[in-house]
Amino acid sequence: MSYSRWHNSVWYTFRSIVETNKRIKQMFTICDPLTSFDFSYKELTTDIENCLNKVQKSLCCSDEEKEELKRYMNEFIIEVTEDDELED
C-alpha cells in the first residue's frame, strides 16, 4: 500500500512486501529522487522519533515535511497493527 506519492508529497512512501507473516518484520519504505530508507514496524513502534530524525538529517527536510512523514509512518503502524493475518 502507498501512503504518499510524488504528486502530493516530497516522498513516495509505501509498505514493502516482505516474505514473512511476522508483524515486527513488516517494512515501511521512503523514497526520494536520490535515496531510500527502510524502517521495520518494530523500529517505528520502538522509536519513531529516531527514525524521523535519521531521515530529516540525511535529506535536510523541513519540520513540516517531517510531520507529514510522521503521519504516513503512523498510518503504516495502524495498518500493520490491525492486520489480522500477521503474527506477533
Q: Report pLDDT digits (tens) over 40-66.
A: 999 999 999 999 999 999 988 899 999
Rounded mean pLDDT of 62-88?
95
Q: Which cell numbers in the block locate residue 86?
A: 500477521
19 against 27, higher pLDDT? 27
Q: Provide the pLDDT confidence category of residue 7 given band limits of 50, 70 and 90.
A: low
Domain boundaries, the chain: 2-81
Total residues found in the chain within this entry:
88
Mean pLDDT of the chain: 91
Record the pTM: 0.90
